[in-house]
Structure 1
Amino acid sequence: MDLKDVILGKDAQIDEGVKLGYRTGRKIADHTLRIGDGACIRYGTVIYGGSTIGDKLATGHNVTIREENQIGDGFNVWNCTTIDYGCKIGSNVKIHCNCYVAQFTVIEDNAFMAPGVTIANDIHPGCEFSGKCMRGPHIEEGVEIGVNVTIIPFVRIGAHSVIGSGAVVTKDIPPGSVVVGNPGRVICSIHELKCQSGLTERPYAHVLLHGEEG
């Protein structure tokens, strides 16, 4: 494997058929790819030069991570997911299979995305100025996003919110909200949810939202 312009930490497990440091056609200041210790990168993954990724990266198969991304420790990303360029992703973020994360998206620590999530960043595709105002959503800490959710540009999803399967998020969501439907609407707080399996009464009782006391 050609590791030119790649700085790879120790104890990495890299499958055959992986491409690290793929050179983008965009003009960027630094084409160096930096990956921390303990990475596990599986067959078919392509990671472009120009990104910085922390320790304990784990990819599934056929993952693409574009250039100019800043990604924290413990990033898990599963099969056939694409992280487009210019994103900021925190630590301990988990993104499941067949997801698309558009350019300039912000995802804070401990967020989770189920399979099939699509994140958009272009509010007016085809407009001659769209490239100048392109921006993905901001997903705050601990947000959990269900299967096949769509999130449109510019919105902010508050910390520890839960977005139900198939929802389309079109506006800002307060912290600790439960959102369902198209367009997505808040139906309750996470503290009002009840455990369906009977293992506990309130599955999010441990979560303290801003301003709450333990």
Structure 2
Amino acid sequence: MDRWIHPKARIGDGVKIGLFTVIEEGAVLGDNVTVGNHVTIHADTIIGAGTTIADQAVVGRWPRPAQTSTVQVDTALSPLSLGEGCTIGTHAVLYRGSRIGAEVLVADHAFVREQCLIGDRVLIGRGVAVENRVEIGSCTKIQTNAYITAHTRLEEQVFIAPGVTTTNDNYMGRTEERFRHVKGPTVKRGARVGGGAILLPGVVIAEESFIAAGAVVHRDTEAATVYAGVPAKPLRRVPEGEMRGS
């Protein structure tokens, strides 16, 4: 047997399924979906028409935190849902309980945890980690090896450069007090964050802000302003020609 498809999975017209792939009970594959070799599609996952899933991806898996983890798994997580025309890369892992829009690219070795909400035409680059309870607006781009921590919100048309790190816990895992304050950054519409920058817990990056490479942002920024340094400080206004829609 070169593949296994549960009898209660629903497979649309024109679907192509590679070798040694497993499709579990209740999964729904829309028309013209392409599934590579050694892919696992977990129970109840919904995959939109025209989506491509590359070799050895894992789609719709349940979260399984460590025994010492503080993450509580919701036993009523909804199925993973992928919109039409998505591309899921090799070895990508997508968890149950998230909703991903149309024409989204999740590149090789990236993962998206549970209870994330991702808009249309989002790019999630190679090796990007998107933790649980993250919101990502449409047309946002997240480049290679960025880390998007839990409880982060990225609005529409945000740019996150390679190696950016977001954080959500000023207590770094100690004291019960931290649970009242865990919060990731909010990056507003059209803002850009340069390579290797670090956004500290709860900061708000205002619309059209430009965060220079290597900056450490510990306070909220002002709109359409360039920030650089450790800690980040305002330098000048963003040039008019770089503004969204100019």
| TM, length-normalised to structure 2 | 0.77
Distance 1:206 1:15 in 2: 33
CA RMSD of aligned residues (A): 1.4
More moved, 125-134 vs 162-171? 125-134
What's the CA shift string for 1:97-117, capped at 9, x where partnerless?
011000000100000111000
Distance 1:97 1:113 in 2: 9
**TM-fit CA distance, 1:36:** 0.3
Number of equivalences: 198
| Structure 1 segment 34-183 matched on structure 2, within 5 A | 34-125=81-172, 126-183=174-231
Alpha-carbon spacing, 1:188–1:124, altered in 2? closer, same or farther (3 Å): same
Distance 1:207 1:103 in 2: 30
Map of 2:241 onto structure 1: 203
Secondary structure in 1 matching 2:242: coil
Distance 1:206 1:110 in 2: 9
**TM-fit CA distance, 1:140:** 0.1
Instruction: Return the structure number with greater relative CO, CA threshold 8 A, min gap 6.
Output: 1
Q: Check the 8 A contact 2:208/2:244 in 1, yes or no.
A: no
Q: Check the 8 A contact 1:23/1:31 in 2, yes or no.
A: no
**TM-fit CA distance, 1:16:** 1.3
Secondary structure in 1 matching 2:241: coil
Alpha-carbon spacing, 1:114–1:27, altered in 2? closer, same or farther (3 Å): same
Distance 1:9 1:206 in 2: 30
**TM-fit CA distance, 1:146:** 0.6
Q: Check the 8 A contact 2:123/2:140 in 1, yes or no.
A: yes
Distance 1:15 1:66 in 2: 18
Structure exhibiting the larger radius of gyration computed from Cα positions: 2
Q: Check the 8 A contact 2:144/2:163 in 1, yes or no.
A: yes
Distance 1:40 1:55 in 2: 10
**TM-fit CA distance, 1:63:** 0.2
The runs of 4+ residues in structure 1 deviating greater than 2 Å are 205-208
Taking only the aligned residue pairs, the percentage that are identical comes to 28
Q: Check the 8 A contact 1:69/1:87 in 2, yes or no.
A: yes
**TM-fit CA distance, 1:131:** 2.5
More moved, 89-98 vs 21-30? 21-30
Letter in 2 for 1:139: V
Letter in 1 for 2:195: V
Map of 1:16 onto structure 2: 55
**TM-fit CA distance, 1:206:** 5.9
Secondary structure in 1 matching 2:176: coil
Q: Check the 8 A contact 2:61/2:95 in 1, yes or no.
A: yes
Distance 1:205 1:66 in 2: 32
Map of 2:73 onto structure 1: 27
Letter in 1 for 2:57: V
Q: Check the 8 A contact 1:69/1:86 in 2, yes or no.
A: yes
Map of 1:196 onto structure 2: none
